[in-house]
Structure 1
Amino acid sequence: MPFMPEYFKQIGYKTHHVGKWHLGFGHWTQTPTAKGFDTSYHTLGGYADYWNFQSTSPPNCKNAQGIFAGYDMYNATTSDGRSHVYNKADVKNTDEYLTYHMTDVAKDIIINSNEPFLLYNAFHAPHFPLHAPKELRAEFLDELAPESSIPKSLTARGETRESIIFKLDSVAHLGPFVSTREHILGDSLRNYGNYKFNVDDAEERDYVIRIARAMYFSNVKALDIAIGEIFEALENAGKLDNTIVIYVGDNGAAVENFQSSGDLRGYKGGAFEGGVKTFALLSGPGISQGASYKGIFQSTDWLPTLLAATDQYKLPLEGLDGVNQFEAISSLEQHGPRQEAHLFYSRSDKRRLKHRTQVGPLFAMRWKQYKIIGGFQKMDIIKGKQSDNEQPFMWYSFPEKSTLKELIQVGSSQDWKSADPWNENQQWWLFNLDNDPNERKNLLRTCKTSCYEELAVFHQLRKKIQTHKATLRDLAPKAVPEGAPKCTPLGSRNWKDCWWVPGYLDVTS
C-alpha cells in the first residue's frame, strides 16, 4: 500500500519529512525514504531530549553495556526509494533547541524549493521532556509559580523552584519507563524515580504542578514561535498564497505529563473524547478564513482530501478507508461525507492505567452523532478494584477550583458510568455527542428500555465492531537485542558514543 508522499510524487511533487518518525526503523523498508520521502531530516524514535538530541528506550532495549540511550538525528536522502543515504546529523556540538533546529531545516526546504512540494513537519513538541528556552520558561514560571510562593515545607527541606525544575526535567525524560509511573490524576508525583514530593500536602502538590504546567506552556510557546517562522518563510518566498498548511494534533492530552483535555472526558491512550478528539487548523486556497467545519474527519481522510485539493488526481482511490472531504470543507457543509469512523482498537488483553492492569481489549466507534465504547471487563483483575474508566477524575483538568466543583456534580450522578446490557461482565457506553460532547450521560444507563432508536444503534455498532475486530492482526513490535544503540568504541559505557541505527533487522551475519 503506497504512503501519502508516493501519491504526490506521481503528480510531480518533491516530498520532504522533517521531525520525528516513530513508525519503525528495524527494516529499511520502514524508514521515511522507503515510504516515499525524497529527503528526511529526522529522529527515528518518538521523542528526543530538546538540548542534546538523544533519545532513550525502555531499559529492556539496552545493549550489552547497559546503554539504552543514544543520539538520534539523521539526514537521509534517496533517489529511488530503495537505496538510502543516511548521514548522522552534526549534533554533538550544537547548542540549538530542538524545535528551533527542526524549524530551520523546514525553512530551508521552503525557501530553496523550486518545484511543488509536500512537507511533513512532525514537531516533537509538546511531547515530553518538557524542555524549553529559559527566557520562555521565566515568563510562565513567574506567573504561575513565583519563587515567593514556594511552600515553607519545601524550603525547609532545601528545595527551591530551580531544584524542582531540575527534578521534573529529569523525570520528564525517564518517567515513562519507570515502573512506579503514576497518572497526575490522584497519586501523582509521589515517587518519580528517586524524587519524592509530599502530595498529601495540597499546598506542595499545587506548587509542583504549577511549575510543571509552566514548563509545558513554555514548550508550547516555543512551538508557536516556530510555526510563525514557517508561515513567515512561506510568505517571504512568495509561496504562502499557493500553499495549503495544516496544523493538526495526533492524540489527546497526555495528562501524566501535565497536559489537559479541558472539559473532555479522558486522555491520551484511551477511547473517550479526551483521547481521540483533536483539533485541526487549515489555511490556504479554497479554505474559508475564520470558519469552522463540523463534519466527522478521520486521519485517513487527509490523503484523498489533499489530493483533491491539487486537482491533479483521479478520485476515489481504491482500497483506502479515507474519504475526500475537500469540497465539504471548502463549502462548509453542515455534515460532511463521512458518517462512520472506527476510532480506537486495542487488541491487548491487558491494559495498564495508573497502578492497575485492566482486562481489554477496548474499542470505540462513531456513527453520525452516536459513539460507542466498550470491551473492558467491569472489574479489575487485581484486587477487584474499579478501572480508571469508572472514576470521575476522567474529567480532570489543571488546576482550577471550578473543575473540582464540576467533578463533584458529575460524581453525584451514576449516568456517566458503564452499563452491561448483555450481562457479559463488560463495560459499555453509548453517547449522543451532539447533546453530550463531554460524555457524561451513558444512554445505556439513562434510556433503559425506552430509547428504542439508541438501543438499535448500540446493537448495530456493536456488531460492526465485532466484525472489524475479527479482521485485525496483532503487529505489536517486540524488543530485540539487535535494536539497542550501537556504540563506537564497541564497549563504551557512555551514551555519547552511541547512536540508534536504522535497518538493524536487515543485517545478515
Structure 2
Amino acid sequence: MRLLAVATVPFIFVGISIVFSLLNSCSSSETNKTDVPQPNVLIILADDLGYGDISCYNPKSTPTPQIDNLAENGILCTDFYVPTPYCAPSRATLLTGRFPLRHGLVKNPTPDAGINDIGIGAEEITLAEVFKESGYATKCIGKWHLGHKEEFFPVNHGFDEYYGILYSNDMRPVQLVENKDTVEYPVDQSQLTKRYTEKAIDFIERNKEQPFFLHLCHAMPHKPLAASERFYTPKTPNDLYTDVIKELDWSVGEVMNTLKELDILDNTIVIFMSDNGPWYGGNTGGLKGMKATTWEGGIRVPFILNYKKEFPEKTKVDVPCASVDVYPTLLALTGIRPIENYTIDGQDISQILKGKETEHGAVYSMHNEHITTVRKDDWKLFVREPKYKRLSKDWIDPRGPDRETILAPIIGQAGPADYPGLLPSKPEKEIQLFNLKADPSEDNDLSDENAEIVKELMDEYKRFEASFN
C-alpha cells in the first residue's frame, strides 16, 4: 500500500559559532584503516522531552532508572543545546552538523497545514550517508520530520531501512510507513513505544556482526500522549505523562540489555537526548519557558553519552555544547574521515567530554528565520525579543485524539494549564543579558551593567550570521 496523500514543512536549529570546512584529500568519506572494529552508533532521540523530565537531571521527577543508569555509566551534559525549540530544524542539524540557516530547513513540514514541499536537501550529507558509505548498516525508526514527499524519505538519505511516522504524531494523516509504503492507518499510538523498541532490537540482532548506525526517534512524550497496556494506568488518567515516561525509560533498558546480551555494548556509542524542550505537561527542571521559546526551557535539553572505551563513567560536563557538535564528534570517534569541502557548524567535543578541554565556541539558537540568542561561557544574550506569550487555558487542541484518525487516550492529555517551566513575561527591552551560572532561571537582565559583554556577544552573533551570506 502506497502512502496516503501528505504534505511537507520546513524547520529550525541552534548551533555554535565555530564554523569550519571539512577538508580532506579524498572526495568522499573514508574509514581509517585499523584492526580495531568500528564502533556501532545508537542515537535515542526523544520528542519534546524536558530537561527536568528524567530523574538524573531532576530527582523530583518520575524515576527513570534505566536512563539514569546510562548516565551513571557515562557522560551527562548539564548545558547542552539544540538550535531551535521545535522539531524539524533541530533534527536536521543533528543529522547534518549544520545550523538551520545553512541546511535551509527552518520550519516544520506539516501535512495537515499544506506545508508539503520542504524537507532535507539533496545536497546535505547526513550521518546515515557517511556511515553507510563506510560499511555500516543503517536504520531510522520513529519520527523523521525532515520531509514527507518521497524525495525526502529516510531511505533516500542514507538509511537502508525506515519504520515510523514521517512527521509529528498529531499531524494528520497519522500513518506508519515502512521504507516507502504505508503499513498502518490509522495508528494505535499506545503501541508506538513498544513497536519502536521491538524494531530496534530486531535491527540490532540482525546486524550484531557488523557496524551499524541506529537512529531511534521515539514519538513520546510529544502529544498526544499514549502508553501500552503494561504502563497505562486508566484508573488514574491524570498521570498519563508519567506512564509515558516510564515506558520510554523501559525502552532504553530493553535496548541496552540487548546490546549487553549480544556482547556489543562496549563497542557501541550510545547517545540519549531530546529534540527540544517540553510541551505542556512536561518539566523544564526549573528553567524558564517551554517548547517554541528560546528561553532555556525551550532549547536546553538532556544529553547523555555512553561509550566506556573512550569516556569516563559518572562524569558531568558543564561546558555549553550543542547538537551541531554530534556529527563531527561521531566521525572522530568512529575514525571516519569527513567529506571534503562540506562546511559544518559544530566541533568535535570528545576532549571536552573527557574533561581535557573547556574551550567551546558560542552556541546559537533561532526561531523561524532569525537567530535569537547567543551563549558563550556563562553568558546568554538575547539579540531579539524572546517569545513570552502562552496559549489560553481554554484552548482546545484541534489535533487531539478523536477515536478515528488520532488514536490515543482522550482523558489525561496535557494542556495549557500544565505549563512545564517558569512563566516568562514580556521583557522590558529587546536586548537582554543573563549570567546562567548565577541565574539559570533568566530573571536578572544584566545588559546595562555589562556593556562590553553585550558588545562582544553581538559581534560574535554578527560574524556568525554573516557566514551564511
**What is the TM-score when the length of structure 2 is the normalising length?**
0.61
Structure number, greater radius of gyration: 1
1:236–1:364: structure 2 CA closer, same or farther, 3 Å change rule?
same
Gaps of 5+ in 2: 1-123, 391-415
Q: Is the 8 A contact 2:175 2:187 kept in 1?
A: no
- What residue is the counterpart of 1:218 in the other structure? 243
C-alpha contact (below 8 Å) 2:233/2:240 kept by paired residues:
no
Q: Deviations over 1:241-273 (max 9, x none)?
A: 111111001111112xx1121211111111111
Change (3 A) 1:119 1:461: same
Preserved contact between residue 374 and residue 383 of structure 2 (Cα < 8 Å): no
Aligned with residue 20 of structure 1, among 143, 147, 165: 143
**Contact 1:260–1:398, Cα closer than 8 Å, also in 2:** no
Verify: 1:101 aligned to 2:124, yes or no: no
Asked whether the equivalents of residues 260 and 397 of structure 1 are also in contact (C-alpha less than 8 Å), the reply is no
Aligned counterparts of 1:397 and 1:340: Cα–Cα separation in 2: 35
Aligned mates of 1:376, 1:15 — CA distance in 2: 41
Preserved CA contact (<8 Å) 2:176 2:187: no
Give the corresponding residue for 2:210: 115
The answer to whether 1:281 aligns with 2:304 is yes
Per the TM alignment, residue 10 of structure 1 is displaced from its structure 2 partner at its CA by 2.7
Question: Do the aligned residues in 2 keep the contact of 1:245 with 1:283 (CA within 8 Å)?
Answer: yes
Q: Any stretches of 5+ residues in structure 1 without a counterpart?
A: 48-54, 57-68, 77-85, 143-164, 166-210, 348-360, 381-386, 390-395, 421-426, 474-509
1:334–1:253 CA distance, 2 compared to 1 (3 A): farther
Q: CA deviation at 1:463?
A: 4.0
Residue 344, structure 1, aligned to residue 366, structure 2: yes
Q: What are the equivalent positions in structure 2 for 1:56-205 lying under 5 Å apart? A: 56=171, 69-76=172-179, 86-89=180-183, 97-113=191-207, 114-138=209-233, 142=236, 165=237
Q: Does 1:33 align with 2:33?
A: no
**Counting helix residues as a fraction of each chain, which structure ranks higher?**
1
Paired AA for residue 451 in structure 2: L
Partners of 2:323 and 2:188 in 1: how far apart?
A: 35
The answer for the alignment partner of 1:295 in structure 2 is 319
Deviation of the 1:319 alpha carbon: 1.0
Partner residue in 2 for 1:11: 134
Counterpart in the other structure of 1:59: none
Question: Residue 270 of structure 1 aligns to which amino acid in structure 2?
Answer: T
Give 1:309's match in structure 2, choosing from 302, 313, 333.
333
AA in 1 matched with 2:246: K
The alignment status of 1:442 with 2:445, answered yes or no, reads: yes
Deviation at 1:100, TM superposition (A): 0.3
| Aligned amino acid, residue 39 of structure 1 | E
Gap change, CA 1:465 and 1:280, over 3 Å in 2: same
What residue identity is the alignment partner of 1:87? D
Partner SS, residue 136 of structure 1:
coil
Deviation at 1:301, TM superposition (A): 0.6
Matched to 1:126, the amino acid is P
The higher relative CO (CA closer than 8 Å, separation ≥ 6) is in 2
> Equivalents in 2 of 1:343, 1:299: separation in Å?
11
Distance in structure 2 (CA, Å) of the matches to 1:73 and 1:240: 29
Q: What are the Cα deviations for residues 293-313 of structure 1, in whole angstroms up to 9, with x where unaligned? A: 122211111011011111243
Q: Is the 8 A contact 1:20 1:44 kept in 2?
A: yes
- 3-state DSSP class of the match of 2:305? strand
User: For the structure 1 residues 127 and 471, does the alpha-carbon distance in structure 2 shift closer, same or farther, using more than 3 Å as the test?
Assistant: same
**1:372 and 1:428 in contact (8 A); partners too:** yes
> For residues 132 and 314 of structure 1, do their structure 2 counterparts lie closer, same or farther at Cα, with a shift above 3 Å needed?
closer
Deviation at residue 292 of structure 1 after TM alignment: 1.1
What TM-score, normalized to structure 1? 0.57
Distance change (3 Å), C-alpha of 1:94 and 1:458: closer
Q: In structure 1, what is the equivalent of residue 412 of structure 2?
A: none
The answer to whether the aligner puts 1:461 opposite 2:457 as a matched pair is: yes
Please give the alpha-carbon distance, in whole angstroms, between the structure 2 residues aligned to 1:95 and 1:11: 35
CA 31–464 in structure 1, closer or farther in 2 if over 3 Å, else same: same
Residues 382 and 432, structure 2, Cα contact 8 Å, conserved in 1: yes
| Pairs aligned (count) | 319
Percent identity reads 25
How far does residue 286 in structure 1 lie from its aligned partner after superposition? 1.2
Deviation of 1:471 after TM superposition, in Å, equals 6.7
> Take 1:339 and 1:115, find their aligned partners in 2: how far apart are those partners?
35
